[in-house]
A and B are shown apart, each in its own frame.
Chain A
Amino acid sequence: MVSTILIVIGVLFNLIGCIGLIRFPDVYNRLQSATKCGTLGTCSILAGTLFHFGFTDAGIKAIIAIPLIFFGATVAAHALVRGAYHFGIKLGDKSVKDDYKDVAK
């Protein structure tokens, strides 16, 4: 029962992440939604797997995958944002502040 709830929450968050990926205006905001919702959604699905299988080999693997996804998603998001900025993609029209402009050159 707990596992079903966790997996449903996870799928919902992944769905919201995808909607955000389409709705947000520029690459930086899109990455925000992709990393945050994607990570918690996937971690929640993995936690659901753990509750379903208990502490067997499949459950333990699900636990280990959580820090891997955590570090993978954060490092990938950072690299993509930085790469996009250096490639010359501008911040969207709604942006109010850009402190990075002077340093990036």
Chain B
Amino acid sequence: MRYLALFILSFLFWLLLTFDLSPINLAVGAVAALITSLLFGKYFYERVYKFLQPQRYFWFLIYIIILIWECIKANFDVAYRVLHPAMPIKPGIVKIKLELQSEFARAMLANSITMTPGTITVDIVGDDLFVHWIYVSSEDPEQYSRKITGRFEKYIKKTFE
């Protein structure tokens, strides 16, 4: 089942990438997608039926909009710190408790964190997420967890879990 899903996804990706509907191109794309899905199918997202639940696409759209907004904010934040003569940074690695369970949702959360203001995911050990933060603004774990993950966690839960 997941081999089939990966095949369809990679074939669509090929079509978008080449943007050409001639039979030769379709054949090459099908072969390439087949090889990809045979090699990497076993690493793919397990519960494929979730692709067919429409409400997930709705939440995905909202998640993307929030992510782009946060991403733009992140850039202005880092640009400000780069250009400021005194360089206002206070870096450190903080530990955050994860509430998401599935592997895929965790990976998406880690990616989102890397894109948001001044934070890079370093590692996941058990249920803890380690994040390098360019400006550690508070000492209280509750508060900074909410600051870093709070914006995304519920949308990622609805979209990917």
Which residues in A have some Cβ–Cβ distance to B below 8 Å? Answer: 13, 16-17, 19-20, 23-26, 28-29, 31-33, 35-37, 39-41, 57, 60-61, 64, 70-71, 73-75, 77-78, 81-82, 85, 91-92, 94-101, 103-104
What number of B residues sit within 8 Å (CB to CB) of A?
Answer: 37
8 closest pairs, A vs B, by CB? A97-B92, A20-B82, A57-B19, A99-B95, A74-B114, A40-B75, A100-B93, A74-B111
Within 8 Å of chain A (Cβ to Cβ): is B34?
Answer: no
Given contacts A31-B120, A100-B122, contact A95 B91 (CB under 8 A): yes
Tell whether, in the assembled complex, residue B118 and residue A97 are in contact, meaning their CB atoms are under 8 Å apart. no
CB B70 to nearest CB in A, in angstroms, measures 11
B122 touches A78 (CB 8 A): yes
Chain A CB within 10 Å — which of B16, B81, B114 has the most?
A: B114
What B residues does A64 contact at CB under 8 A?
13, 16-17
A81 touching B19 in the complex, CB below 8 Å, given contacts A16-B82, A99-B94 = no
Inter-chain contacts of B128 with A (CB < 8 A): 103
- Check B121 for interface membership: any CB of A closer than 8 A: yes
CB pairs A–B below 8 angstroms (9 shown): A19-B83, A25-B89, A26-B91, A36-B75, A77-B114, A78-B121, A100-B130, A101-B93, A103-B128
Query: Cβ of A71: which chain B residues have Cβ within 8 Å of it?
Result: 111
Distance to closest chain B CB from A35 (angstroms): 7
- Given A33-B78, A60-B19, A95-B92, the answer on whether A77 and B120 have CB atoms closer than 8 Å is yes
**CA gap between A70 and B67 in the complex, in Å:** 11
With A19-B82, A36-B78, A61-B17 given, is the CB distance from A97 to B136 under 8 Å?
A: yes
Contact status B75-A13, CB under 8 Å: yes
B132 at the interface (CB under 8 A from A): yes
Determine whether the beta carbon of A60 is less than 8 Å from that of B16.
yes
